[in-house]
Structure 1
Amino acid sequence: MRMSFNMKFNQGLNGVINTNAKMTRAQEQLTRQTRILTPADDPAASAKVLGLDQNLAQTEQYQNNSILLRNNLALEETALTNMRTSMDRARILTIAAGNGAYADQDLRALSAELRNIQVELLDLMNTQNSEGGYIFSGYQDKNMSYVFNPVTESFEFQGDDGQKSLQLSATIALAGNDSGKFVFDDINGRYKTTEALISAGGATSAAVTVSNQSRFDRFYRENYDSLNPANNDYNVVLTAPDLYEIQRNGASLVPPVTGTFQPGQSISFQGLAIDINGPAVPGQVDFSLEAPRKVNILDTLSEFIQILEDPNINQAILDEGIQDALVQITNASDRVDNVMANIGGRINVLDSVFETNEDLKINNKSYRADLSEVDYAKALTEITKQEIALQAISATFTKVSGVSLFDFIR
């Protein structure tokens, strides 16, 4: 086969160009630290690398969410911890108010400190995060959680019951806040009865008081009827010569509750003490279970402070106010404890998911490296090999391209 000068020249030039391209590619792999410069280099590996990059970016966002969630929960936990301390102090002061040796000025001093605690609790309920949002306002975090309404003379919740959740993984999302409606407003007030009413007979006085709150609470929860209010009415029926029966809405209880009545001696019934005085037999005394109510601790303190600051208050009303405040402060404290325990559980889950995500990141990065990262030793060897080849082919090309018929004649 006859080979022309152009053929020899082009063949040599192509060898130089191809060898140079190989060396350049090896240098670019080393510079970019990847063996896949374009999807065409390895289509299957390129697709897997793209998927791994997306997973890594998504996992990184989950980790950022975890950090944000932890900060939000830590802020809420701090606020609730401080509130819990203030509630404990309020309980101590409430118990102290029952000291019979306290004069009016002592009760005023207690009310002054309770008012300061109320101000502190209001401030903590209106805690804001770094973005200026009120953490207990639910979705309405631009609204102050609690404000005082001078018309109703009560503290009113201004948010909603929403919880903002953050995604920590593909299947796990945790709430980063708790609504004040649940934490502070949805708290049971003290279960009580109405005042005793003498409906028949000659009794001179009658009273129903809660002597055992925990026992009465159980009875109340089991028997209060929100659908038929008449079933909340109870009657103490006194019959000659000295018997009594406690009925519900005019009907005997099952089993019947009966006993011997002695004027001046309390009748005990499900944590209640029923006192009837005077010539009561035959006769009847009625009372009802009061409807349950929800009350926040700010209003509880307001009601108790008002009692303490009333110079004309009698001991019976003071004692009743103390019992109301103690039960409601305890209920509020228990709810805060429960919420803090729930926060602790969320933090534990958060930590576990965070560690799992970190492990996934390491595994995905390792797999990605196996698929795409360049082998430095192999790349350097390839560069050196192509450099030597380029030098050799360049020298050959120079000699071959310089041969012509004129050189032969000469």
Structure 2
Amino acid sequence: MRMSFNMKFNLGLNGVLNTNAKMSRAQEQLTKQTRILTPADDPASSAKVLGLDQSLAQTEQYQNNSILLKNNLALQETVLSNMRTSMDRARVLAIASGNGAYAEEDLRAVAAELRNIQIELQDLMNTKNAEGGYIFAGFQDKNVPYVFNPVSGRYEFEGDDGQKSLQISPTIALPGNDSGKFVFDDVPARFKTSAASIVAGGATSASITVTNQDQFDRFYRSNYDNLTPANNTFNVVFTAPDQYEIQQNGTALVPPVTGTYTAGESINFRGTRITVDGPAVPGQVDFSLQPPEKKNILDTLEEFIARLENPDLSAFQLNEGILDAISQISNSADKVDNFMANVGGRINVIDSVFETNEDLKINNKSYRADLSEVDYAAALTEITKQEIALQAISATFTKVSGVSLFDFLR
């Protein structure tokens, strides 16, 4: 076959360009630290790398969510811990106010300290997070959760019962806040009875007092009937000769509760003490279980402070106020403890999932590197090889392109 000058020139030029392109590709792989410059280089691996990149980006977002969530929960845990300390102090003061040696000035001093504790608790209940939202307001985190209503004389909750959750893994989403409605408002007040009332007989007065709150609470929970209010009425029926029976809405209890009544002595029943003055036999004294009530600790302290500051309060009324305050503060403290434990559990889950996500990131990055990252030794060898090839082709092209018939004739 006859080879023209143009054919020789083009063949030599193409060899130089192809070799230069191979060397440039190796240099680009080394610069970008990947052997897949375009999907066409390795379609299967390119698709896997794309999926791994998306997975890594998603996992990174989960990690950012975990950090934000843990910070919010740590703030809530700190707030609840401080509130718990203040509640303990309030309970100590409530117990101390029952000291019979306390004068009116002493009770006012206790009330003043309780007022400061109340202000501190309200401030903690209205805590904001780093984003400026109230942590106990639910979804309504721009509203102040607890405000005092001067008309009702109550501290009212202005938030809702929502919880803002964040995804920390494909299947796990945890709330980063708790509504004050459940932490502070959904707390039962002390279970109590109505005042004893004389229904029949010649008794001059009757009273009922809770002497063992734990025992009475168990009795209350077992017997309070929310559907039929009449069943919450209990009757102390005195019959001759000097006998009594306690009934529920006119029906004997199972097993029956009976005994011998001695004038001037009280009757003990399920954590209560029933006292009747005057000729009780025959006769009847009734009392009822009061409906359950829920209130927040701010209202509890407000009522207790008002009692301590009232100089006209009887000893019985003061004692009832003390019992109410101690019970409510204890219930509130227990509720705070429960939520602190719940928050701690969520933080533990976050830490565990965070570590799992970190391991997953390491595995995915390792797999991605196996699929796409360039082998430095191979890339450098390829560059050197192409450089040598380019030099050889260039020298050969120069000599071949200079050969002609005139050179042969000379």
Q: Which residue of 1 aligns with 2:93?
A: 93
- How far residue 24 of structure 1 moved from its aligned partner, in angstroms, is 0.2
- How far residue 328 of structure 1 moved from its aligned partner, in angstroms, is 0.2
C-alpha separation between the residues in 2 aligned to 1:397 and 1:152?
A: 101
Instruction: Find out whether 1:225 has 2:209 as its counterpart.
Output: no
Which amino acid in 2 is paired with 1:10? N
**Unpaired segments of 5 or more residues in structure 2?**
none
Which amino acid in 2 is paired with 1:287? F
C-alpha separation between the residues in 1 aligned to 2:222 and 2:317?
A: 28
Q: Which residue of 1 aligns with 2:212?
A: 212
Which amino acid in 2 is paired with 1:291? P
Q: Which residue of 2 aligns with 1:338?
A: 338
Q: Which residue of 1 aligns with 2:125?
A: 125
Moved more, 217-226 or 189-198: 217-226
- How far residue 269 of structure 1 moved from its aligned partner, in angstroms, is 1.2
C-alpha separation between the residues in 1 aligned to 2:9 and 2:405?
A: 15
- State the TM-score, normalizing by the size of structure 1: 0.99
C-alpha separation between the residues in 1 aligned to 2:122 and 2:105?
A: 26
SS of corresponding position for 1:199: strand
Q: Which residue of 2 aligns with 1:291?
A: 291
SS of corresponding position for 1:105: helix
Instruction: Find out whether 1:152 has 2:158 as its counterpart.
Output: no
C-alpha separation between the residues in 2 aligned to 1:148 and 1:394?
A: 91
Moved more, 26-35 or 248-257: 248-257
C-alpha separation between the residues in 2 aligned to 1:404 and 1:145?
A: 97
Instruction: Find out whether 1:305 has 2:308 as its counterpart.
Output: no
C-alpha separation between the residues in 2 aligned to 1:269 and 1:3?
A: 124
C-alpha separation between the residues in 1 aligned to 2:191 and 2:39?
A: 73
C-alpha separation between the residues in 1 aligned to 2:232 and 2:405?
A: 126
Q: Which residue of 1 aligns with 2:255?
A: 255
Identity within the alignment, %: 77
- How far residue 409 of structure 1 moved from its aligned partner, in angstroms, is 3.0
When the two structures are aligned, how many residues end up with a matched partner?
A: 410
- How far residue 206 of structure 1 moved from its aligned partner, in angstroms, is 0.7
C-alpha separation between the residues in 1 aligned to 2:4 and 2:271?
A: 119
RMSD between aligned residues: 0.7
Instruction: Find out whether 1:374 has 2:374 as its counterpart.
Output: yes
- How far residue 222 of structure 1 moved from its aligned partner, in angstroms, is 1.2
Residue deviations 1:141-187 (CA, integer Å, cap 9, x gap):
00001000001000000000111111010001111001000000000
Which amino acid in 1 is paired with 2:112? A
Q: Which residue of 2 aligns with 1:7?
A: 7
Instruction: Find out whether 1:318 has 2:308 as its counterpart.
Output: no
Residue deviations 1:343-379 (CA, integer Å, cap 9, x gap):
1100110000000000000000000000000000000
- How far residue 407 of structure 1 moved from its aligned partner, in angstroms, is 2.5
SS of corresponding position for 2:259: strand
SS of corresponding position for 2:162: coil
C-alpha separation between the residues in 1 aligned to 2:278 and 2:36?
A: 102
- How far residue 6 of structure 1 moved from its aligned partner, in angstroms, is 1.5
C-alpha separation between the residues in 2 aligned to 1:114 and 1:279?
A: 44
SS of corresponding position for 1:312: coil
SS of corresponding position for 1:129: coil
- How far residue 8 of structure 1 moved from its aligned partner, in angstroms, is 1.2
Q: Which residue of 2 aligns with 1:68?
A: 68
Moved more, 353-362 or 249-258: 249-258
Instruction: Find out whether 1:280 has 2:276 as its counterpart.
Output: no
C-alpha separation between the residues in 2 aligned to 1:132 and 1:125?
A: 14
SS of corresponding position for 1:348: helix
C-alpha separation between the residues in 2 aligned to 1:45 and 1:264?
A: 95
C-alpha separation between the residues in 2 aligned to 1:268 and 1:300?
A: 28
Instruction: Find out whether 1:200 has 2:186 as its counterpart.
Output: no
Q: Which residue of 1 aligns with 2:386?
A: 386
Which amino acid in 2 is paired with 1:99? N
C-alpha separation between the residues in 2 aligned to 1:262 and 1:385?
A: 116
C-alpha separation between the residues in 2 aligned to 1:30 and 1:274?
A: 93
- How far residue 132 of structure 1 moved from its aligned partner, in angstroms, is 1.0
Which amino acid in 2 is paired with 1:358? E
- State the TM-score, normalizing by the size of structure 2: 0.99
- How far residue 131 of structure 1 moved from its aligned partner, in angstroms, is 1.4
C-alpha separation between the residues in 2 aligned to 1:218 and 1:158?
A: 33
Which amino acid in 2 is paired with 1:399? K
SS of corresponding position for 2:133: coil
